[in-house]
Amino acid sequence: MEKFALVTGGMGYIGSHTSVALIEAGYQVVVLDNLDNSSEKVLTGIESITGQTPHFAHTDLRDVDAVLEVFNEYPITSVIHTAGLKSVEESVTNPSKYYENNIGSTITLVKAMQTAGVSTLVFSSSATVYSSSSKPPFDENAKTFPTNPYGMSKYIIEQIMADMALADSKWRLGILRYFNPVGAHPSGKIGESPSGVPNNLMPYLMQVAIGKLEKLPIYGDDYETPDGTCIRDYVHVVDLARGHLAALEFLENKNGVHFWNLGTGKGTSVLELVKEVEKVIEKPIPIEMKQRRKGDIPIVFADVAKASSQLSWQAKYSIEKMCADHWKWQKHYSDSRQ
Ligand code: WQD
C-alpha cells in the first residue's frame, strides 16, 4: 500500500523539514496547517528541494469536520503531529490558550484518525517534560515534571496517548522528545521563521548576527557549569526530521506506545554556541549579561541510546554544521523579505 503521511503543522519549522524527509523517502505527503504561525511560501521551499509539491490542507485541527474531510480526501496511512503552540514564555502568560490549542487539537486529530481507521501516529513532544530534578543525561525513564504550561500540555498529550495504547492495541504511537532543534535545510530554502522577537537562543543569536537585533541577552552566567552559562543539547533539524522517518518505519509492525529522545547526547553552553556562530559569521556577536531566566535548568542533554538501538537513528550533524546551515537560512530568509 502506498505510504501516505499527513503532517500536521507541516508548514512549520519541524513539520516542513519532516515533510522533505518523507517525500525524499518516497512518501506521499499531505501538509495540514492553519497558517497561524507559518506561511504558504514554505510549500515553494519544499518543492524546490524535493521537486514535488505536497498536497496542502489549509485546515484548523480543532475543526473536526474539516479534519475528517482531509482523511476522506486522501488515503492517509500515518500521521506526524507537529502542530502546536510552542512558546514557553507565552504559555506562562496564557495557559488556557496552550491547553485548548495543543490538547484540543490532538483530541480532534485522534478522533478523526479513529473514524478513518488510521492508527499510526508520531507525536512531537519535548525534553521540557523532564523534571529539573533529573540528572543529565536524560534517558526516557527520567523523572518527568513539566514546570510550565507548554511542557505540561506536551506531558498531558503523552499521557493521553499512553492511555489510548492501553485501551486499544491497534494504536501504533511514537512519542519523540526533542531536545533543542536548531539549524536549517542545507539548501537554505526552509528554516525557522519565528514571529516577533525570538524566545529561543539560536534564532535570537541569528537575528543579532544579521543585524536585526542589537545584542544577545545572556540569561545568567553564574550557573554550576564550566563557563557559568546553561548547557543544552542542540540537534540539527534535518537530523530530527530523519528521526521521524525512523520512528514511522519502526511503527510499521509495532503496536503500543513508544518514547524516544531525539538529541545528540552532547551539551553545548550558551557562550560556546555564541563562539560557534562568531566563527561562521566571522564577526563578534555583541552580548549583554542579564539575570537568570525563570524556569531555566542549568544542564540539559539527552541519553540517546534508545533511539540508536531501536530506531538505528543517531544525529549526524555537528554544532558547526547547525550554525552554518542556520546562518545560510537566516541570510536567505532576510533577503526574501527585503
Ligand atoms: C536555551 C538557553 C536560555 C535566549 C525551549 C523549550 C523547548 C524547545 C526549545 C519548543 C537557556 C538561554 C535563550 C536568549 C539566552 N521549544 N538564552 N538568551 O529553554 O532550552 O528550550 O526551547 O519545542 O521545548 O523548552 O531553549 O533556546 O529558549 O534557551 O541566554 O535570548 O539559552 O536561558 O539557558 P530551552 P532556549
pLDDT tens profile 239-261: 999 999 999 999 998 999 999 99
Length of the chain: 338
Testing ligand 1's pocket by substitution, the residue of 132, 293, 297 carrying the most ligand atoms inside 8 A of its CB is 293
Please check whether residue 312 lies inside any domain of the structure: no
Please check whether residue 138 lies inside any domain of the structure: yes
**pLDDT-derived band at 302, boundaries 50, 70, 90:** very high
Distance (angstroms) between ligand 1 centre and the Cα of 199 equals 7
Which atom of ligand 1 is closest in space to residue 216's alpha carbon? 31
Which atom of ligand 1 is closest in space to residue 180's alpha carbon? 9
Q: How far apart are CA 244 and CA 7, in angstroms?
A: 11
**pLDDT-derived band at 39, boundaries 50, 70, 90:** confident
Q: Locate 105 and state its grid cell.
A: 487539537
Averaged over 91-103, what is the pLDDT?
A: 97
Angle made by CA atoms 202, 205, 208, in degrees to the nearest 5: 155
Collapsed DSSP state (helix, strand, coil) of residue 176: strand
Report how far apart the first and last C-alpha atoms of the chain are (Å, whole number): 45
What is the pLDDT at residue 338?
57
Domain CATH for 95: 3.40.50.720
Q: Can 333 be counted among the known catalytic residues?
A: no
pLDDT one-digit tens code per residue, 122-162: 999 999 999 999 899 999 999 999 999 999 999 999 999 99
Please check whether residue 75 lies inside any domain of the structure: yes
Residue with cell 505536497: 54
Task: Give the structural domain span for 81.
Answer: 4-182+234-263+302-307
Q: Locate 305 and state its grid cell.
A: 541510546
Q: Which DSSP letter does residue 146 get? A: -
Q: How far apart are CA 243 and CA 177, in angstroms?
A: 11
Please check whether residue 214 lies inside any domain of the structure: no
Mean pLDDT of the chain: 96
**pLDDT-derived band at 2, boundaries 50, 70, 90:** confident
Nearest CA to ligand 1 atom 32: 201
Please check whether residue 175 lies inside any domain of the structure: yes
Please check whether residue 277 lies inside any domain of the structure: no
Annotated active-site residue in 13, 98, 150, 234: 150
Please state the domain count of the chain: 1
In 199-272 the beta strands, taken as DSSP E runs, fall at 216-219, 231-232, 234-236, 256-262, 268-269
Averaged over 292-299, what is the pLDDT?
A: 93
- The full DSSP string for 24-89 is HTT-EEEEEE--SS--THHHHHHHHHHS-PPEEEE--TT-HHHHHHHHHHS---EEEE--S---HH
Please check whether residue 54 lies inside any domain of the structure: yes
| Helix or strand run (H / E) with residue 270 | helix 270-281
Instruction: Identify whether the C-beta of residue 281 lies closer than 8 Å to the C-beta of residue 208.
Output: no
Distance (angstroms) between ligand 1 centre and the Cα of 201 equals 5
Testing ligand 1's pocket by substitution, the residue of 17, 201, 221 carrying the most ligand atoms inside 8 A of its CB is 201
Averaged over 310-315, what is the pLDDT?
A: 98
What is the pLDDT at residue 289?
98
pLDDT one-digit tens code per residue, 42-83: 999 999 999 999 999 999 999 999 999 999 999 999 999 999
Q: How far apart are CA 53 and CA 46, in angstroms?
A: 7
Please check whether residue 285 lies inside any domain of the structure: no
